[in-house]
Amino acid sequence: MIRRRAILYGEVQGVGMRMSCAREARARGVNGWIRNAPDGTVEAELEGDRSAVDGLLTWLYAGPPAARVLSVDVTELATQGEVGFDVR
């Protein structure tokens, strides 16, 4: 189990990023949350099996069709045993 924080930069708000990510996370069995930040970025914390989290992180670099992801900052966090995936 691993946990990662991802901060997405670019045109990432108002393009379906949060809902698309939630669908992808649930399909992959990744737990955590995603939210819009006041500075225009999107923040997510992802927890689960390494391959599932890494796969979702790869998906985040592209996002849904309307998104224009310029960069993603990823940091390692301690696992929390979170269950489910929330859109905040």
The residues annotated as belonging to the active site are 18, 36
Q: Are strands 31-36 and 85-87 parallel, antiparallel or unpaired?
A: parallel
Which H or E run includes 77?
A: strand 68-77
Q: How far apart are CA 64 and CA 16, in angstroms?
A: 7
CB-hemisphere CA count at 13 Å for 81? 0
